[in-house]
Amino acid sequence: DGGITQSPKYLFRKEGQNVTLSCEQNLNHDAMYWYRQDPGQGLRLIYYSQIVNDFQKGDIAEGYSVSREKKESFPLTVTSAQKNPTAFYLCASRAGQGSVGELFFGEGSRLTVL
Amino acid sequence: AQTVTQSQPEMSVQEAETVTLSCTYDTSENNYYLFWYKQPPSRQMILVIRQEAYKQQNATENRFSVNFQKAAKSFSLKISDSQLGDTAMYFCAFIANYGGSQGNLIFGKGTKLSVKP
């Protein structure tokens, strides 16, 4: 079945460590997104990529980094520079320009900093 | 800048009753799309319903319908015959359409809906 796979589902990190969240899609979508979700905050955009080898900062990019070396993969690294990394992270994809705009989401990854 | 506001952080409804979730947005664009997404306790976000701004007719999907008031910039979601499985967070979202290319999806902060037996 086509979809978006995020891993791991749960992740614990010590302060000062970098951690990478995986996001893989087999929908052949051009655009991919990373959102952060905190209680009462809705979804906030971290980074997005409209095409392979290109990505843009979203509203809260500080302390995060991404890469888009393959169309199907868009990993997110939470660096030690991120002051408050404990959150639920959602990856999404979209068919790209010209599509209606619907996002397809993964099941999310919950990161907890100990 | 575009914004999306959901003024009801939490709502509850009795099973089989009807409930309406509110959403307002602010934009200077004339061409855009609006969405309602559902996030159940399992946390997977799924699309409930979509509305194109150029369409005057309100979108419906089975028990879900919207009341789209373009002049008032209002986009409410009505759930009829509520079921226990409708218990979830509901997010209203907006995306501008710039002549074939689109901006990024902008979400409201969500409304937590509880359906009570």
The C-alpha angle with vertex A52 and arms to A46 and A53, in degrees rounded to 5, equals 80
| Cβ distance of A107 and B42 shorter than 8 Å | yes
Which pLDDT does position A114 carry in this prediction? Answer: 85
* Predicted confidence (pLDDT) per residue in B73-83, tens digit: 999 999 999 99
Q: CA-to-CA distance for B22 and B104, rounded, in angstroms?
A: 21
* Predicted confidence (pLDDT) per residue in A18-60, tens digit: 999 999 999 999 999 999 999 878 899 999 998 899 999 999 9
Q: Which residues of B touch A8 (CB under 8 A)?
A: none
Q: Which residues of A touch B104 (CB under 8 A)?
A: 33, 45, 48, 58
Question: B55 to chain A nearest CA, in Å?
Answer: 13
Instruction: For chain B, give the percent of residues with pLDDT over 90.
Output: 78
Q: Which residues of A touch B107 (CB under 8 A)?
A: 42-43
Write out the E strands in chain B: 3-5, 10-14, 19-21, 24-26, 32-39, 46-52, 60-61, 64-69, 74-79, 88-98, 101-102, 106-107, 111-116
DSSP labels, A39-103: TTTEEEEEEEEEETTEEEE-TT-TTEEE--SBTTB--EEE-TT-S---EEEEEEEE--TTS----
| Cβ distance of B45 and A88 shorter than 8 Å | no
Question: A64 to chain B nearest CA, in Å?
Answer: 19
